[in-house]
Amino acid sequence: MTQFAIAGIQLDASVKDNLAEISKQVAITKARFPWVKMIVLSELLAFGADVSRAETLPGPTEDYFCSMARKYNVWLINGSIYELAGEKIYNTTSVINDAGDVVVRHRKLFPFLPYEKGIAAGDQHTVFTIPTVGTFGVSICYDMWFPETTRALVSLGAEVILHPTLTNTIDRDAELAIARASAITNQCYFIDINGGGKLGYGQSIIVGPEGEVLHQAGRDGETIPIVLDFAKVRRTRENGIHNLGQPLKSFRDSEVKFPQYDADFNFKPTLGKLDIPTG
């Protein structure tokens, strides 16, 4: 199988408990598009950015998503919830298969500091493989602003990046550019699903491995079903983008040394403290 159907749900959500509405929209999506095999939700969709709702994993909210995946026979990327682990809180996405089992979890590597205060950073790059289909990588929101994160996932075999996000600020337009750049420089699909309504500014985007925009949503609630072609990813990586640039091969074969990867790296520009600007 080289094709795989996926749907992003950009939910017109509130800042409270959205679980019932999520379940409703997943049911509608599977009824309308029964050929969809995976559904991707936006970051912190269940409860919004409410740290008081943090829970240990496994836990009741993750179990609710597992039951949903099992009921509708669909892979489910649950956006993320706040995970309580000892004295730390992480922003964590669960990848749930169509049998309702958690395959892997991804802890956000780069909390949106200094604004996402009190959230710990994950330390693992997360990929998983669906047999006979292909390999997926997972990142969350601000992770995408660091090109090393996507390149790391691709180096581990990812052909598709699943990227729940929650953006309700003026920089959403910049993120759309980053999504396209991430896809074309890594010759992969980039699935960026943002929240809508009171949670986010929407404009979810799905980009193909040659940087082509396959769909860009508006700001309201929207379901985005699309068929991914893994053969195209592999063909693009073999022959180049439009049979031209082959950036992954060039990066692999290069002898260029990057100072930022040295063990004793020290960023030279004077940046100051990571804090909220005051003027």
Q: What is the pLDDT of residue 208?
A: 98
Q: Where are the domains of the chain?
A: 3-261
Tens of pLDDT, residue by residue over 98-154, are 999 999 999 999 999 999 999 999 999 999 999 999 999 999 999 999 999 999 999
* Angle 145-39-69 from CA coordinates, rounded to 5°: 130
In a 13 Å sphere around the CA of 242, the CA atoms on its Cβ side amount to 5
Which residues are 93's β-sheet partners? 106
Rounded to whole angstroms, the Cα distance separating 35 from 234 reads 23
Please report, as a single letter, which amino acid is at residue 65.
F
Q: Is the dihedral of CA 112, 117, 123, 124 positive or negative?
A: negative
Q: How confident is the model at residue 169 (pLDDT cuts 50, 70, 90)?
A: very high
Do residues 69 and 78 touch, judged by C-beta distance below 8 A? no
Q: What is the pLDDT of residue 1?
A: 66
Q: How confident is the model at residue 266 (pLDDT cuts 50, 70, 90)?
A: confident
Quick one: which H or E segment has residue 106? strand 102-107
Q: What is the pLDDT of residue 15?
A: 83
Rounded to whole angstroms, the Cα distance separating 268 from 52 reads 39
Q: Which tokens in the block code for residue 23?
A: 């379940």
Q: How confident is the model at residue 262 (pLDDT cuts 50, 70, 90)?
A: confident
Q: How many CB atoms lie within 10 A of CB 73?
A: 13
Q: Which tokens in the block code for residue 5?
A: 């159907």
Is residue 46 over pLDDT 90?
Answer: yes
- Of the chain, the end-to-end C-alpha distance in Å amounts to 55
Tens of pLDDT, residue by residue over 175-232, are 999 999 999 999 999 999 999 988 999 999 999 999 999 999 999 999 999 999 999 9
Q: Pairing state of beta strands 81-85 and 88-96?
A: antiparallel
Report residue 232: phi and psi, to 5°. Answer: -70, -40
C-alpha dihedral over 179, 182, 187, 191, to 10 degrees? -40
Q: How confident is the model at residue 279 (pLDDT cuts 50, 70, 90)?
A: confident
What does CATH list as the number for 3-261? 3.60.110.10
Region of poorest pLDDT, from 10-19, 64-73, 209-218: 10-19
Is residue 268 over pLDDT 90?
Answer: no
